[in-house]
Amino acid sequence: VKSEGRNHIALYSDELTAQAKQRVLLETRLRNALKQDKLQCYYQPQIDIASGKIMGAEVLLRWHDAELGHIPPSVFIPLAESCGLIHHVGSWVLQQSCRQLKTWLDQGIAPFSLAINVSAHQFNKDQLLGLLEQVLIDTAVPAHLIELEVTESALMINEERVIAIMQQIKAMGIRLAIDDFGTGYSSLSYLKRLPLDALKIDRRFIEHIPQAHDDKQITSAIIALAHNMNLKVLAEGVETAEQLAFLTQQGCDYYQGYYFSKPIPANEFVALLQR
Ligand code: C2E
Ligand code: CA
Ligand code: CA
Ligand code: CA
pLDDT at residue 114 greater than cutoff 50? yes
State pLDDT tens for residues 42-96: 999 999 999 999 999 999 999 999 999 999 999 999 999 999 999 999 999 999 9
Q: Which of 98-102, 109-113, 126-130 has the highest mean pLDDT?
A: 98-102
3-state secondary structure of 195: coil
Q: Which residues contact 10 (CB under 8 A, 6 or more apart)?
A: none
3-state secondary structure of 265: strand
What residues have their beta carbon closer than 5 A to ion ligand 2?
117, 149, 179
Ligand 1 lined by 159 (C-beta under 6 Å): no
The pLDDT-based confidence of 1 (bands split at 50, 70, 90) is very low
Q: What is the distance between the alpha carbons of residues 26 and 60, in angstroms, rounded to a whole number?
A: 19
Cα 222–chain centre separation: 19
Given this model, what pLDDT does residue 20 score? 86
Given this model, what pLDDT does residue 275 score? 81
State pLDDT tens for residues 169-178: 999 999 999 9
Average pLDDT, rounded, for the chain: 93
**For the CA of 258, the nearest atom of ligand 1:** 18
pLDDT at residue 5 greater than cutoff 70? no
Ligand 1 lined by 75 (C-beta under 6 Å): no
> What percent of the chain shows pLDDT beyond 90?
80
Is residue 179 within 8 A of residue 155, CB to CB? The reply is no
> What is the bridge-based pairing of β-strands 39-48 and 264-265?
antiparallel
DSSP classification of residue 122: G
Is the pTM here over 0.90, yes or no?
yes
Ligand 1 lined by 257 (C-beta under 6 Å): yes
Mutate to test the pocket of ligand 1, among 60, 149, 201, 240 (most ligand atoms within 8 A of CB): 60
